[in-house]
């Protein structure tokens, strides 16, 4: 059995990925400093899979802690999710973002090399494309200068991995650029757990529907899009998690020297903010108070993925409908809030 270390494995994407890897026969080890998560989702992963997950509460920036984890486990590969991810906060606290997001990744790579290398997946973001000149965005769409320190850390970490893989033949790399991950596991045992007021659209919607927030503000209805609201590519969290299983299969079966492949992980379908809100209300038969507000600074008008490379090369495709995804997101929120 191959063992994969998941950094940030107690979080939203990490926990869903752990479930899918275990389901595909991998062993999973989680390291998370719980700075933006608690153990709720880890417990959920254990319930879903019926397995005890080896868990280290540690910071990936701490080299000795990372050495200890590698010393105590046979680790064949890693997925690096551990990072700060709030765009606005990164503008206010850039040094904290650069220190945490860059140092944690460098430390992981250094300790992997010390321990014989392996495959490493870096969780990147569609944010690297900014507002693409041509849509959908392919992996060759030029990266735009980042508009926030958060976005910049994604670009720099991509470059770090590309260079590291070139220089260290024991390492294999893969960059996955996620579009907008939403939803929750159909069991409602794991899902998104934002701290404080959510920045992202779907957790704000579910919290508003659950009565925690007064109303949703739709940021801008004057974009040059069919209904004036911004377009995104919302991908189901379980679909996104399964892409990591395909990523490791690819890295095991295929070994082009020094290459680090890049894949878009999205659905290829654009959806507007307004459409998403309407579908949420329709599928869940729940009202949602919303109003149109001004544009949010830093938002792009439209971005969605060309996923043909991932479909062809990884043999992976997003298959869940947005309705199914929004029903799962609502089921998770209701369970958290003990609503019927
Ligand atoms: C953001 C990050 C992206 C990250 C992603 C994680 C940027 C610019 N964006 O994407 O890197 O990977 O989160 O999911 O770096 N909206 C509202 N009202 C709200 C919240 C959002 O109308 O209360 C709108 C936004 O204006 C946007 C859409 O919903 O048009 C999606 O927003 P959000 O969920 O925050 O994701 P992004 O900004 O696309």
111-to-31, 69, 322 alpha-carbon distances in Å:
14, 10, 39
pLDDT of residue 252: 82
Peptide bond into 136 cis (omega under 30): yes
Q: Tell me if residue 126 falls in helix, strand or coil.
A: helix
How do residues 61-70 score in pLDDT, each as one tens digit?
999 999 999 9
> CB count, 10 Å around CB of 116?
12
- Sheet with 77-80, side-by-side order of all strands: 55-57, 27-32, 3-7, 77-80, 118-125, 171-178, 260-265
C-alpha 144 to ligand 1 mean position (Å): 17
Sequence-distant (6+) residues with CB within 8 A of 261 are 173, 174, 175, 250, 313
Give the mean pLDDT of 29-49. 97
> Distance (Å, rounded) from C-alpha 229 to C-alpha 51?
43
Closest CA to 264 of 309, 301, 233: 309
Residue 273 CB–ligand 1 contact under 6 Å: yes
Look at residue 33 and tell me whether its pLDDT is greater than 70: yes
Set 56, 97, 129, 150: catalytic member: 150
Could you identify the residue written with the tokens 């191959």? 2
Residue 298 CB–ligand 1 contact under 6 Å: yes
How do residues 256-305 score in pLDDT, each as one tens digit?
666 899 999 999 999 999 999 999 999 999 999 999 999 999 999 999 99
pLDDT of residue 256: 62
Question: Is 150 a residue of the active site?
Answer: yes
């Amino acid at each position: 059995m191959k063992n994969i270390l998941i950094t940030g494995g107690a979080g939203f994407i990490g926990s869903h990925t752990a479930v899918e890897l275990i389901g595909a026969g991998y062993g999973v080890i989680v390291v998370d400093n719980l700075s933006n998560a608690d153990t709720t989702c880890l417990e959920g992963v254990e319930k879903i899979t019926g397995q005890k997950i080896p868990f280290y509460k540690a910071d990936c920036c701490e080299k000795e802690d990372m050495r200890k984890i590698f010393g105590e486990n046979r680790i064949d590969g890693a997925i690096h999710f551990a990072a700060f991810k709030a765009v606005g906060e990164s503008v206010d606290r850039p040094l904290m973002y650069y220190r945490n997001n860059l140092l944690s990744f460098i430390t992981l790579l250094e300790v992997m090399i010390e321990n014989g290398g392996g495959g490493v997946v870096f969780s990147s973001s569609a944010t690297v494309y900014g507002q693409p000149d041509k849509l959908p965005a392919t992996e060759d769409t030029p990266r735009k200068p980042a508009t926030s320190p958060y976005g910049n850390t994604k670009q720099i970490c991509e470059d770090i991995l590309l260079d590291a893989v070139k220089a260290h033949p024991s390492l294999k790399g893969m960059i996955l650029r996620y579009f907008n991950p939403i939803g929750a596991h159909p069991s409602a045992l794991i899902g998104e757990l934002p701290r404080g007021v959510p920045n992202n659209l779907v957790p704000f919607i579910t919290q508003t529907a659950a009565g925690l927030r007064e109303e949703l503000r739709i940021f801008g209805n004057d974009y040059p899009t069919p209904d004036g609201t911004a377009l995104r590519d919302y991908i189901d969290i379980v679909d996104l998690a399964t892409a990591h299983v395909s990523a490791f299969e690819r890295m095991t079966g295929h070994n082009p020297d020094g290459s680090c492949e890049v894949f878009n992980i999205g659905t290829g379908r654009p959806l507007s903010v307004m459409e998403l809100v309407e579908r949420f209300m329709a599928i869940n038969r729940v009202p949602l108070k919303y109003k149109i507000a001004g544009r949010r600074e830093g938002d792009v008008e439209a971005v969605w993925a060309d996923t043909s490379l991932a479909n062809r090369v990884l043999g992976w495709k997003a298959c869940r409908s947005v309705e199914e995804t929004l029903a799962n997101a609502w089921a998770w929120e209701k369970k958290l809030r003990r609503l019927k």
